[in-house]
Amino acid sequence: MTAELACFEAKCRARFAVTDVIYNCPRCGGLLEAVYPDRHVDAAALKRTWRERRLSNAPLDQSGVWRYREAIPFLDGTDRIITLKEGNTPLLEAPGAASYAGLDALTFKHQGFNPTGSFKDNGMTCGVAQALRLGMQRVACVSTGNTSASMAAYASAAGLQPIVFIPHGNISFGKLAQALEYGARTLQVEANFDQILALVRVLAERLGIYLLNSINPFRIEGQKTIIVEMMDQRDWRPPDWIVLPGGNLGNTSAFGKALREMREMGLIGKTPRLAVIQAEGAAPFHELWRSADRAALRAVEHPETLATAIKIGDPVSWPKALFEVLSSNGVVEQVSEQEIADAKAQIGRCGIGCEPASAATLAGIRKLRAAGTMGAGDDVVAVLTGNLLKDPDYIYGYHTDGLTAPGGGKLRSTFGNRPVMAPNDAQRIAELLES
């Protein structure tokens, strides 16, 4: 099957070879996407094939990304694929979270079950495969945590050198520890995410390093499979809503692309509405959404949120994300630090747990439900992007009244669960437990 890179801008749509090392259109500067102009499929046969592969012990079939390889056919073979059995993430029912949000039912698609604990693994296995195809030796990313952990793991597994650039002092130690453990050369730069990304793009071109941030179109291809797997798990019944956090907006771009392509391939009969939720202190996409003129995004120069995975002030994928939200008749909302923290505690009480950025989904659903945008009986799937243990300091701070919002001011421990000091005395402990 023919694969090409195409400019995403409707006025351009220039085409390039899938092996060109480019991240933006050389003609107009627009974003790029992988396209498959001669793809023709038998939807029913494809569904059977993908379901049968669940029983296979072949390494590619055990991957929740490469099991769906007909949905992402950009490679000319499978010999360069590095898989850590990514994907295969569950759909989890959460009645307590549904009640908190005002819904009859709510399902979480939990990407924290991935090998490095976040959704980034779905995209990184594809990005690293493309790097190997191109003969690259070094790969790099700018990251507030999850991307660095994922890239370091997959690059090291592939025998490549991972180079991670992080904003100094703006990464959780749980995520930084992963990048260090997986062998990444790590540089802490005294700048924010957006400033460092501009710097690294210059370095990548100068030094022949392959960039694996979400501006890389092959990362987006891998992240599409989150939605393909979701639909497979739901027996191809699309929900009314898919809710996700909004940071650099790669997932929004990937999810929308997946839904459009599945509709074109005859795999689903309707398109769910996308709801993108941002943190108030890092919400340029929400501001764009509310603007009368959506021609250009106004960056937030100093984004602030404790949900570091979405602490992005100038998201590179916003043109794609805007198109996908509009195409799905979706919405964009923002939530406060307090709303995120309380929603996270509620998810934890369901026995599920997630990183702070993930909890923006539940906070956003509660807000959209209160506004009447969502109905109580709507079929809603929220994507939890990262594992509970990505940011344990946040959790301890919340439950012990020690969580401070950006700019100062303590967040309320509304649903706190403070540990209790107890003496080495059975009678006293019994009295504590009975009180």
Residue 176's contacts (CB-CB under 8 Å, 6 or more residues apart) are 145, 148, 166, 186
30 and 100 both lie in a single domain: no
113 and 12 both lie in a single domain: no
**CA neighbor of 195 nearest in space, from 299, 305, 278:** 299
Is 173 a residue whose pLDDT tops 80? no
* Residue 269, domain CATH: 3.40.50.1100
304 and 376 both lie in a single domain: yes
pLDDT at 104: 98
Is 283 a residue whose pLDDT tops 90? yes
Q: How confident is the model at residue 227 (pLDDT cuts 50, 70, 90)?
A: very high
> Has residue 268 been placed in a domain?
yes
pLDDT at 83: 98
Cβ-count burial 201-211 (b if 16+ within 10 Å, e if not): beebeeeebbb
Is 277 a residue whose pLDDT tops 70? yes
Q: How confident is the model at residue 192 (pLDDT cuts 50, 70, 90)?
A: confident
> Domain tally for the chain?
2
Q: How confident is the model at residue 145 (pLDDT cuts 50, 70, 90)?
A: confident
* DSSP 8-state assignment for residue 277: E
Query: Mean pLDDT, the chain, as a whole number?
Result: 95
> Has residue 243 been placed in a domain?
yes
Q: What is the mean pLDDT of residues 248-273?
A: 97
SS3 304: coil
pLDDT at 350: 98
Taking a C-beta distance cutoff of 8 angstroms, is the pair 3, 73 a contact? yes
The CA distance from 222 to 236, in Å, is: 19
Is 1 a residue whose pLDDT tops 80? no
Distance of CA 374 to the CA centre of its chain: 22
Q: What is the DSSP string of 156-213?
A: HHHTPEEEEEEETT-S-HHHHHHHHHTT-EEEEESS-HHHHHHHHHHHHHHHTPEE-S
223 and 289 both lie in a single domain: yes
CB count in 10 Å sphere of residue 134 = 13
What global pTM score does this model have?
0.96
Structure tokens at 69: 């390889």
Q: What is the mean pLDDT of residues 200-228?
A: 94
Q: How confident is the model at residue 172 (pLDDT cuts 50, 70, 90)?
A: confident
Is 134 a residue whose pLDDT tops 70? yes
pLDDT at 170: 64
Question: What is the domain range of residue 30?
Answer: 1-40
Task: Indicate the helix (H) or strand (E) that contains 331.
Answer: strand 331-335
26 and 97 both lie in a single domain: no
6 and 97 both lie in a single domain: no
Q: What is the mean pLDDT of residues 307-311?
A: 92
> Has residue 169 been placed in a domain?
no
7 and 112 both lie in a single domain: no
